[in-house]
Amino acid sequence: MAVRDNNSRVRARNGASGKTVEPPAGAESPWVLLRSASLHPFVYQKMVRRADAAARPGDVVAVYDKAGRFFGRGLYNPRSQIIVRMLTHDEVPVDAAFWRGRLERAVALRRTLRLDEVTDAYRLVHAEGDGLSGLIAERFADHLVFEVFALGMYQRREELAGLLGEVLGPPGCLDRPDKASPQWQVAMRADARIEGIEGFHVPDHGAVAGRATRVTIREHGVRYRVDFIGGHKTGFFCDQRDNRRRLAALCREAAVLDLCCYTGGFSLCAKQLGGAREVTGVDLDEKAIAIARENANLNQVRADFVYADAFTFIRQMLANGRQFDVVVLDPPKLATYRVEIDEGLRKYHDFNQLAVQMVRPGGVLLTCSCTGLVGRDVFRETVQRAGQRAGRALQLFDESGAAGDHPVMMNCPESAYLKALWFRVL
């Protein structure tokens, strides 16, 4: 890595001016000099004073604080509002050994959690939670599915996939001992809009090495089909694993309504593990409902999956005087950017105001938010107001979040995105 001496002058990016400026003393090129700094892994455009003209989108850059002191290294992308995604604050090279070390650390946590004893589907890399901002990796049986949000991660996708496969070793075969593949199949999904990823155009923004784009996985004895190219995110929501099992324990002989059910995770756990009397799942995604019905057949259970808008469905049920013993409300993310938070909170309020009316007195409401920009306290207050507006008293008896394979680093609290509130409705 090149090192600039104190007397060298380079043309650096300084907003739109392009003026010739001094680099930080002894700076390694490519470099970024900050105007302000925090330990959060995101460095936004407004926090950067100037950047080395040699820095290219996707490069690992040396980052210096406003006094010119070494601050760390991260992935650079001037096209993104997050201009640098910090990887480390140590003076170590970001090379193959670095990537392998981070992946080994991530895999070690999952092995400590003994996830293989209950499932062959779990998150292996949780972006900032594992010190790898912009990268999500999940295991689905003998497939590795990558979802990338950073150009630098996308550029290194083949290296990272190869390293993760080496760290994991041969694929496990919990569900299909007669069909275990000698190698991991690898699927890739990327968000080209945010980071300006170019030259990546395939159906559904997905690509897969190998033939299959769908696989069958097992979780707590329930089997699910996962479409990791055409589905939402990586095709299955591993984050709700513990909550699905927890809900099942409350469903014995209950009538259960699963709103925004996607491919039927809560519905099938309620029926197969919980012994629910009847289960109804509702979602506006027609493909997801089709897979939910496949999953019911796969597990040989009876469940009613309805392709409908949840708001419309609830209003029809209320008009008919229908209520349920257990109601799950798990909508998709309702705010991606800060300017959308107020609108997202209005939607959460309206959703919960209707959902709480679907619960029989003394019944259970599990309501969830996967919007990282909405904090737990704000979400709780929003649901409380919704209950009051509906004329129902809510008794909170538990709060939970994502399963342990979605760890949270304390310098990035919003990565604790999933909030699950458990109420008895009076």
The CA-based angle 73-76-78, given to 5 degrees, is 150
373 phi/psi in degrees, rounded to 5: -75, -10
C-alpha 245: how far from chain center: 19
Catalytic residue status for 370: yes
> Is residue 325 within 8 Å of residue 302, measured between CB atoms?
no
> Is residue 407 within 8 Å of residue 126, measured between CB atoms?
yes
**Closest among 65, 234, 277, 224 to 147, alpha carbons compared:** 234
**Closest among 356, 270, 350 to 318, alpha carbons compared:** 356
Angstrom distance (rounded) from CA 344 to CA 357? 20
For tokens 């990823």, name the residue. Answer: 197
Catalytic pick from 260, 368, 370, 412?
370
Q: Ramachandran region of residue 411, left (φ > 0), alpha (ψ -120 to 50) or beta?
A: alpha
Burial class (CB in 10 A: 0-12, 13-18, 19+), 5: exposed
State whether residue 306 is helix, strand or coil. strand
For tokens 């309206």, name the residue. Answer: 350
122 phi/psi in degrees, rounded to 5: -160, 165
The CA-based angle 191-197-201, given to 5 degrees, is 75
Helix (H) or strand (E) holding 209: strand 206-209
Give all strands (DSSP E) within 89-134, no chain letters: 121-126
**Closest among 283, 281, 314 to 296, alpha carbons compared:** 281
For tokens 């104190």, name the residue. Answer: 6
Instruction: Enumerate the active-site residues.
Output: 370
